[in-house]
Amino acid sequence: MLTTDGGLLDGRLRYAQPLDGYRTGIEPVLLAASVPARAGQRVLEAGTGAGAGLLCLAARVPGILGLGVEVDPGMAELARRNVAANGFEGLSIATADIGTRRGDGAFDHAFSNPPWHDPAATLPPAARRRLATHEGTVPLEGWIAALRGALRPAGSLTVLVPAAQAARAMAALQAEGCGRLTLFPLWPKPGRDAKLVLIQGYAAQRGPGRVAPGLLLHEADGPFSSQAESLLRGGAALTL
């Protein structure tokens, strides 16, 4: 696999990713910022790719014990290289299909940006990009069920999905016994509809759901908002 070398969090993290195929955007950085982990806790990421989400979370919360699950062997190996390059001894990567992973109830937090494109839609030519972006044999509900099965009681489960899939994701979370759901929109610009949302719930918990004010990503004239900059460059926490 040909790769390019770059960085995350304004260069604080070394990060290599494939030259062709799926390229990392802002999604895993924002997702990692929203995970309410503390030092010493165990965290699971499904579909970790080259490891951007886990790396950003470990940079913000030193001392976490993180496991990334990735079905693509090449990407899993690249994630291991990125973990080693940044010296995060508490992180590990497993090459596995999240849909076949047996729930062990051992994690305090789980998170994912699952593939969500309609499998019947036009597929990108690169196989690695298809795997990362298009729903396969494991549907969204399967991803959520697998993540929920990995959690301890009261553990958090956070997903980043398109706004069009929000109702489906929330229904799946509720079906798996997650409560206290928060829907957190990511607004592209003032006056624009949110295309992506963060959704967070807690295993074996009850309580009303809420729609949070959300995060403005870009100012009207184009640059990232100050809060988005603090997350994407500064590695700040995002409280949902």
Rounded-to-integer distance, Cα 180 and Cα 178, Å: 7
CATH of residue 76's domain is 3.40.50.150
Report if residue 240 sits inside a domain.
Answer: no
Residues of the chain above pLDDT 70, percent: 90
d(CA 65, CA 58): 8
Instruction: For the chain, give the percent of residues with pLDDT over 90.
Output: 83
Q: Is residue 238 part of a domain?
A: no
Residue 85 burial (CB < 10 Å; 0-12/13-18/19+)?
Answer: middle
Residue 148 located in a structural domain:
yes
Residue 240 CA to residue 230 CA, distance in Å, equals 15
Q: What is the pLDDT of residue 120?
A: 55
Number of compact structural domains in the chain: 1
Residue 239 resides in a domain: no
Task: Give a yes or no: residue 62 inside a domain.
Answer: yes
Q: Is the residue at 134 inside a domain?
A: yes
Residue segments in the chain with a per-residue pLDDT below the cut of 70: 102, 116-136
* CB proximity list for 116: less than 8 A, separation 6 or greater: 133, 135, 140, 161, 162, 165
Alpha helices, DSSP H, located in the chain: 27-34, 52-60, 73-85, 127-133, 140-149, 166-175, 226-232
| pLDDT at res. 119 | 58
DSSP single-letter state for residue 26: S
In a domain, 55, yes or no: yes
pLDDT in tens, 35-67: 999 999 999 999 999 999 999 999 999 999 999
pLDDT tens-digit profile of 66-76?
A: 999 999 999 99
The pLDDT assigned to 137 comes to: 77
107-130 pLDDT, tens digit per residue, is: 999 999 999 645 554 444 555 444
Question: Which residue segment(s) compose the domain that 179 sits in?
Answer: 3-232
Rounded Cα distance between 67 and 49, Å, is 12
Please state the pTM of the whole predicted model.
0.91
